[in-house]
Structure 1
Amino acid sequence: MASILSSVFFFIIAIGVLITVHEFGHFWVARKVGVKVIRFSVGFGKPLFSWRGANDETEYVIAMLPLGGYVQMLDEREGDVAPEELDRAFNRQSLASRTAIVAAGPIFNFILAIAIYWLILMIGVSGVKPIVGDINEASIAAAGGFQRGDVITHVGDTKTVTWGMAAMALLDHSLGDEMVEVRVLEDGVVSKTRQLDFSTPGLELERKNLLGSLGINIMRPQIPARIGEVTPGGAADKAGIMGGDLLLTVDGELVGDWGKWVHVVRTNAENRLQVELERDGRVMMVDLRPARLSTKEGEIGRIGATVQYPKELFEAFNAVERYGFFAAFNAAVVKTWDMSLLTLRMLGNMVIGKVSVDNLSGPISIAQYAGSSAGMGFVAFAGFLALISISLGVLNLLPIPMLDGGHLFYYLIEWIKGSVVSEATQMMGQRVGIALLALVMIVAFYNDIDRLVG
């Protein structure tokens, strides 16, 4: 229950920030070109809070449904306008001014993403070094010469400090039928070039498990089964297990490493386990009964204890992407551009059927991502915000009526033919846009439900 509330809370925070920035773009540019703004609303439906600033003609509103927002401007198409204010009506503005106002929303989303990436790239984004584990036989990674222990340094021209960067670069290249060169360090020192041929006949890629589809496994070190922190009142605490304890055997069998210990705990909910452990050089036995926890994967055991990572192991596998002030800004602009193009390419490949629509996520999945990223800390949540802000910017620029891109498309037609697109055409386009957006939302909601129950 707590995780659901956390996800909902951070989802509302994320959507609130993104919508406010998007609508502020429209609002700010409208004010700058002299258009009267009647209302600035974050959310739809019944207003929860509303106010006006001193000498401010705009009403600011926070509404009940936080899944959108709008900026209401003075417009003759929506009501009578006093003669003395006609020059402040949106529909009376020049084509350039109207274009700037409409485009400002998505542009501000991209600006927000750049600002976030700039900040977190100066703070430093931690990740796992891209060290290759076992290579699956008869895979394109095996055909390309990949070996266990390779450290991926570049995918194409993209530098890859962490697995996250490597996976994103591989995803980008996987959308094209091309050969990509991957530079690696062999034995940690010798630079070599491997190849991945995405034009291989019959190649089927699962984007949710791209590395696995390529035949690449992440190097996973053996972590000693040593207890880190113990949750007060949990099963481990009740059994007398303490931080720093090294787990030796369970029911007479060697534990070996943390992965095996986790498997034993998860598969023995409410079963009594005899655990042999070492504490300060002394060996002792404790009785442990893992608590039962219900998850979407089923019921599992849980003891309320974390692992203690050896410092040398952390240093060997941890990597940080960090830049100075100016270099971070340049990297943030490049990252925002690359992510925007990747989003656009993914959408394009969905349209032609090359990428499954299963990759679409609705509000439920986004809320889960918001909660999980917030649980990982500020940098992870900020990165999530930047990514969603880019997605919002790209989606709003698509030439679909009802979206900003649809209005911009009408303005392009107006510029070409020299007159405003007829109201009848716009209304027809609006109905088509509503139908398309409804279809996308239905698919996204279906995917969300399928992930929950699947």
Structure 2
Amino acid sequence: MNPFFGSVFWLLVTLGVLVTFHEFGHYWVARRCGVKVLRFSVGFGRAVWKRVGRDGTEYQVAMIPLGGYVKMLDAREGEVDPALRPVEFTGKSVWKRIAIVVAGPGFNLIFAVAALWLMFMLGRPDAAPVVTATPGSLAATAGIQSGDRLLRVDGEPVDTMSDAMDDIATALLGREPLPLVVRGRDGSQRDVLLPLQQLPAGRSIDKYFDALGLKLAPPPAIAATVMPGQPAAQAGMRSGDTLLAVNGKPVADFNAFAEAVAGAAVKSPRLDVTVRRGEQTLHLPVVARYESLEGQPARWSVGIGSVPAQSAMRRYGPVRALGAALGSTWDTTRQTFTMIGKMVTGQASTSNLSGVIGIAQVANQSAQMGLPWFLNFLALVSLSLAILNLLPIPILDGGHLLYYLIELVKGSPVSERTQMIGQYIGLVLLFTLMGLAFYNDIHRTLLS
């Protein structure tokens, strides 16, 4: 699928599922609190399908699939028949109104835990946290060596590259020294301190990662497989040969070898590849080919494969998977609030905010990586929606919750005038955040 249309499709799937689940939370709790629900809509705008249920609720699917809404019987929106006052929203106790408001974010939280639970039972393919450092980078200066395996990040054990990068990303936002425990290729363990305090303030997380220079280690410079009939095989290369140089230019790893082949073959496909076989150093005359292998885009190659990357997969039974899901949900919630706090105080740049475009791109990428990765993505977005909606911003669920908490303290509802002013303030704040996130998405897209 074309990346653009793929991004749009998976964005619609993501928002359709998560926002509908959010609104279903409001609907379900409202019904149990005795409030009459007039309409439950999946999407906005003109209805393309609708029916009225036995309960009198109008269920519909609308043309614009970017969310949904629940319309309840509410005296603030017009006159209410006296006979229906017992099932009207504002006539319910403040605790019931709080329960109805909290239900939306609550259902998003439940969805996040459920998605992670299923993901851990299926198993999410990942890479082992074996890393390298870009020469001259912060990580290289701190002592990270190619082939080091991360064991602990800030005291927490890590099993996969994704877990390690999540913890490092949180630390980068704080720009404080980050202790690591690593195991080198020789099996020895050592402590490494990343001096993140040296990073300049106010940069995006992408810029921080570039400056840190910590990456997944590339495969070693070894011809793990030699394809029959391909240039390397015709030149006499064997599986297990160590790749030393291309046209006299040394190569440090398999990626560097592939880049050296591509760079040299543009000038002349006749290459001198130096390999080590046992105690021998051999010079092999390899004639590179520009072709597509296994459905990949055409490129210069000699027909060899690398050592498979070390894989790591967290797959658990139902009980342990639930514990892992709850733990992951807690960690992500803590990291999200940490990031919000740092942006509010100016310690982290608002350029880290992402909007619809960023979500669409990541949705497409995660969907292409398989169901477990897409479930993980859905869980993260669902949790973000829950947290965002609970922020005390008028017009969001958190704003309504704030009004009801004030009502509990003062013993009477917040005045309509105050609520109206809050709605305008909330709209300004919300559109400001959306505009900033949209600007960040466009800026990142143009620079990529």
Provide TM-score, normalisation by structure 2.
Answer: 0.82
- From 339, 349, 365, the counterpart of 1:346: 339
What are the within-5 Å matches in structure 2 for residues 245-260 of structure 1? 245=230, 257=254
d(CA) in 1 for partners of 2:418, 2:197? 43
Aligned to 2:429: 436
Is 1:153 the equivalent of 2:151? yes
Q: For the residues of structure 2 that align with 1:58 and 1:285, how far apart are their CA atoms?
A: 72
Kept in 2: contact 1:205–1:213 (CA 8 A): no
C-alpha contact 1:135 1:142 (8 A) present in aligned 2: no
Counterpart code for 1:324: G
Which stretches in structure 1 are left out of the alignment for 5+ residues?
Answer: 229-241, 277-282, 291-300
Separation of aligned partners in 2, 1:346 and 1:102: 25
1:385 positional shift: 0.8
Does the alignment pair 1:405 with 2:392? no
Residue of structure 1 equivalent to 2:23: 23
For 1:47, the aligned partner's letter is A
Q: 1:297-336 residue pairs with structure 2 within 5 A?
A: 302-303=297-298, 310=306, 313-314=307-308, 317-336=310-329
1:218 to partner: Cα distance: 3.0
2:202 and 2:349 in contact (8 A); partners too = no
- Mapped partners of 1:169, 1:338: distance in 2: 9
- The separation in 1 between residues aligned to 2:229 and 2:326, in whole angstroms, is 44
Task: Report how far residue 285 of structure 1 moved.
Answer: 6.4
CA distance in 1 between partners of 2:268 and 2:355 (Å): 42
Q: For residue 235 of structure 1, what is the aligned residue in structure 2?
A: none
Q: How many residues are treated as equivalent by the alignment?
A: 418
CA distances 1:16-39 after superposition (whole Å, capped 9, x unpaired): 000111001111111111111111
Letter in 1 for 2:98: T
Q: 1:72 and 2:71 equivalent?
A: yes
Name the counterpart of 1:421: 414
Residues in 2 aligned to 1:243 and 1:389: alpha-carbon distance in whole angstroms: 49
Structure 1 residue identity aligned to 2:172: S
Post-superposition offset of 1:324: 2.4
Aligned to 1:391: 384
Pairing of 1:138-149 with structure 2 (within 5 A): 139=138, 142-143=141-142, 145-149=143-147
The residue that corresponds to 1:192 in the other structure is: 190
**Counterparts of 1:135 and 1:39, CA distance in 2:** 56
Query: Is the deviation greater in 62-71 or in 208-217?
Result: 208-217
Which runs of no fewer than 5 residues in structure 2 stay unpaired?
A: 236-245, 272-284
Q: Distance in 1 between matches of 2:162 and 2:43?
A: 33
Decide whether aligned partners of structure 1 residues 203 and 19 sit closer, same or farther in structure 2, where only a CA change above 3 A counts: closer
What is the distance in 2 between the residues matched to 1:409 and 1:118? 32
Counterpart of 1:107 in structure 2 is: 106
Q: State the TM-score, normalizing by the size of structure 1.
A: 0.81
SS in 2 for 1:67: strand
Look up the match of 2:444: 451
Q: Deviations over 1:316-338 (max 9, x none)?
A: 52111222221211111111111
Q: What is the alpha-carbon distance in structure 2 between the residues aligned to residue 385 and residue 82 of structure 1?
A: 42
Q: CA deviation at 1:352?
A: 2.4
**Code of the aligned partner of 2:59:** Y
Q: Residue deviations 1:95-152, cap 9 Å, x none?
A: 1110011011111111111111111112212212112313654736634x54443211
What is the DSSP-based 3-state SS (H/G/I as helix, E as strand, rest coil) of the residue aligned with 2:391? coil
- Say if 1:266 and 1:302, in contact at 8 Å, map to a contact too: no
Instruction: Give the corresponding residue for 1:93.
Output: 92
1:170 aligns with one of 149, 165, 168: 168
Deviation of the 1:79 alpha carbon: 2.0
Task: Rate the CA distance shift 1:309–1:401 in 2: closer, same or farther, 3 A.
Answer: farther
CA distance in 1: counterparts of 2:135 and 2:260, whole angstroms = 24
| C-alpha separation in 1, matches of 2:257 and 2:46 | 53
